[in-house]
Structure 1
Amino acid sequence: MAGERDERDAEHGLISGEEKVVVGGTQHGSGRRLGKSIHPVFYIAAWIFLSNTTILFNGWLIGNRGFKYPATLTCWHLIFATFATQVLARTTSLLDERKTVKMTGKVYVRAIVPIGLLYSASLVCSNMVYLYLSVAFIQMLKSASPVIVLLTAWAWRVEKPSLKRFINVTVIVFGVGLASAGEINFSFIGFLFQLGGTTAEAMRLIMIQILLSDEGQKMDPLVSLYYFAPVCALMNIFIAGAAEAPTFDFADIAKVGYGLLLLNAAVAFLLNVSSIFLIGKTSGLVMTLTGIFKSILLVLLSVLIWNTSISALQFIGYGIAMAGLTYYSLGWEQIVALTNGFTSWLMTVFGSHGAETTLC
């Protein structure tokens, strides 16, 4: 039962936006084979650090360094990912599972191309939104990602509608609505970009589940990136050319710095790699819990770094959305078990501390 729940959590897109890598089927392989002696806490900390660093890095380049070309930035990330996966495939064993994938022309056109286009749209929208909304508010809106994925799954009849889940979804939507209403610098265009990116990501996840499963394909995240990145990069070249070429100034690249842009792409790629190791070493459930904590931490970092103003209504709405998301991700029994376990741990720690104090 636990394994089934972990797979369902991963398929439902509980990892949102930029920080979610391409997932296509059962998680196994590369990450599970490597680094067996390293404690899981290391993988959790690495993923939190790289995920938040990528988001803050992108927001800083677009909002503060004047690189107002989100489509071009996304294109650069995908070109780097294409090159990096090709190098890894030829120099390491991380992508050996690609040899077991039955990649035919039919599968590529039917599955890889449309899924790659949706992934591309998701990434572009995720970067475009930084032009209009604060990092903190973007994270609040991302709380609704599982809602969009679930509704999309119902629409495609991948899952059967459930009244219990519908009520849970309604609570999350209500919380996100309050956060939106309380946003001081609200932008409707930015909101639409975030909604578009989330919807594209939801459709991509469902198509992966339907198309790749129908074809009997099982790919870990890095192998999926190996196939999707070239399609996404090509698509983004056209998008960036149509949307940003007329206003693009090469002087802005020099102004930002070639080294900084290279570092940005490398961090974004390392995020994908860290996700593989985290999933392989732990589970989708652990990644869900980590994602909830990471989102809260990112909001706090945004407030500290950019002095983002958060209204009381926005804070309450975000709290409701996060509570609903936690319940959706874990279920009541799991929440109670984790709470009891944490309470027991605290009692053990403070009990031991008290005993040491008495002996002294």
Structure 2
Amino acid sequence: MKGMITPMTTVTNSRTFTIGLVMAWYSSNIGVLLLNKYLLSNYGFQYPIFLTMCHMTACSLLSYVAIAWMRVVPMQSVKYGAQLGNIVILSIVFCGSVVSGNVSLRYLPVSFNQAIGATTPFFTAVFAYFMTVKMESWIVYLTLVPVVTGVVIASGGEPSFNMFGFIMCISATAARAFKSVLQGILLSSEGEKLNSMNLLLYMAPIAVLLLLPVTLYMEQNVIGITLALAREDKKIIWYLLFNSVLAYVVNLTNFLVTKHTSALTLQVLGNAKGAVAVVVSIMIFKNPVSVTGMLGYLLTVIGVVLYSEAKKRNK
């Protein structure tokens, strides 16, 4: 009959919606990464802490709009005391990871940044062992060998290698892994569990409060400098606004893709996203790459894929 919705139509619409979400997640992830690189390196806006504060401000405002007004997810309340203290700790680690990642983009090409970022499973396994005394099977630990070896090879073959940028990028990667393990420990009880959107709602304003004095101390007169830049080139304001909104869209689409697929699918898609980001960044910024560097990155990605498969079979 005309206008009748069949099960096949529903499945097709659902699949199209999921594909659209994945594309939005890819676009926002790669977009914010490339725009961060452009602003901090090519454009010459050398204020990564202020840029991170802009991201967190947008996440604070847009999280409230999405949850309180648009009701994307039900709002979850937070208990004062231990739970709020745990969220503050997570916010500090989160700030450290984002700031370190943004600082690294001033000194490293996106391709090398992504190669280092792919070692997150290694740091996650290390922190999980020392913080929870949780042992994985030997095959899981074995898959981490190519992950680390690949980055060592990529570092040796990276024409634009910078030691400070490398340390910042490693710090950002380790902090992301530390946050995920810490989050599992601190918010593991049923009474404290928060979905990622509600966690961001509470973490982002705390992050802004933490970053504000650091910004004022370490990047003095950054607001005055930004306004002076805006008088010369109004595009800087639009760059910062668009970049900040994209930072929130990354978190929103990350949550929605996980909700409509699975955490494992997200991990697989994330591995592919890193490779896409590398190719796109090389095409846009035309940074020099070596065969050794690309082989190292490829080895790391293979190691991450093997790690994901070993973890899945180990469950």
TM over 0.5: yes
Residues 1:173 and 2:148 aligned together: yes
Identity %: 25
- The Cα offsets for residues 292-338 of structure 1, whole Å up to 9 and x where unpaired, read as 1111111111111111211111111111111111111124998xxxx
2:124 alignment counterpart: 149
Separation in 1, partners of 2:55, 2:78: 27
Separation in 2, partners of 1:252, 1:166: 49
Counterpart selection for 2:286 from 273, 293, 307: 307
> 3-state DSSP class of the match of 2:118?
helix
Question: Contact 1:66–1:252 (CA<8 Å) still a contact in 2?
Answer: no
2:298 alignment counterpart: 319
1:61 alignment counterpart: 39
TM-score by length of 2: 0.88
Give the letter aligned to residue 185 of structure 2.
Answer: I
Question: Contact 2:67–2:73 (CA<8 Å) still a contact in 1?
Answer: yes
Residues 1:207 and 2:182 aligned together: yes
Question: Contact 1:67–1:253 (CA<8 Å) still a contact in 2?
Answer: no
Counterpart selection for 1:39 from 17, 20, 43: 17
- The Cα offsets for residues 208-239 of structure 1, whole Å up to 9 and x where unpaired, read as 11111146322211111001001111111122
Residues 1:73 and 2:51 aligned together: yes
Residues 1:328 and 2:307 aligned together: yes
- The Cα offsets for residues 140-173 of structure 1, whole Å up to 9 and x where unpaired, read as 1111111111111111125214322222112210
Residues 1:236 and 2:211 aligned together: yes
- 1:247 CA displacement: 6.7
Separation in 2, partners of 1:238, 1:36: 46
Separation in 1, partners of 2:69, 2:93: 29
- 1:95 CA displacement: 3.9
> 3-state DSSP class of the match of 1:160?
coil
Separation in 1, partners of 2:103, 2:247: 16
Separation in 2, partners of 1:129, 1:276: 26
- The Cα offsets for residues 44-90 of structure 1, whole Å up to 9 and x where unpaired, read as 11111111111111111111222110110000110111122223333
1:183 alignment counterpart: 158
Q: How does 1:89-128 map to 2 (within 5 A)?
A: 89-98=67-76, 101-109=77-85, 111-128=86-103
Separation in 2, partners of 1:125, 1:332: 28
Deviates more, 1:308-317 or 1:120-129: 308-317
Question: Contact 2:123–2:178 (CA<8 Å) still a contact in 1?
Answer: no
- The Cα offsets for residues 181-204 of structure 1, whole Å up to 9 and x where unpaired, read as 100111110011011111221221
Separation in 2, partners of 1:155, 1:80: 35
CA RMSD of aligned residues (A): 2.0
- 1:257 CA displacement: 2.5
> 3-state DSSP class of the match of 1:257?
helix
1:345 alignment counterpart: none
Give the letter aligned to residue 270 of structure 1.
Answer: V
Question: Contact 2:83–2:192 (CA<8 Å) still a contact in 1?
Answer: no
1:252 alignment counterpart: 229
> 3-state DSSP class of the match of 1:93?
coil
> 3-state DSSP class of the match of 1:213?
coil
Residues 1:224 and 2:188 aligned together: no
Structure 1: runs of 5 or more not aligned:
1-34, 335-360
Question: Contact 1:77–1:269 (CA<8 Å) still a contact in 2?
Answer: yes
Give the letter aligned to residue 41 of structure 1.
Answer: I
> 3-state DSSP class of the match of 2:33?
helix
- 1:36 CA displacement: 5.5
- 1:38 CA displacement: 4.8
Question: Contact 2:148–2:300 (CA<8 Å) still a contact in 1?
Answer: yes
Counterpart selection for 1:87 from 57, 65, 80: 65
Separation in 2, partners of 1:218, 1:107: 10
Change (3 A) 1:58 1:161: same
> 3-state DSSP class of the match of 1:310?
coil
Residues 1:51 and 2:29 aligned together: yes
Separation in 1, partners of 2:216, 2:245: 23
- 1:243 CA displacement: 1.6
Question: Contact 1:144–1:173 (CA<8 Å) still a contact in 2?
Answer: yes
Separation in 2, partners of 1:166, 1:287: 21
> 3-state DSSP class of the match of 2:132?
coil
> 3-state DSSP class of the match of 2:165?
helix
Give the letter aligned to residue 252 of structure 1.
Answer: L
Give the letter aligned to residue 57 of structure 2.
Answer: I
Change (3 A) 1:330 1:162: closer
TM-score by length of 1: 0.78
> 3-state DSSP class of the match of 1:245?
coil
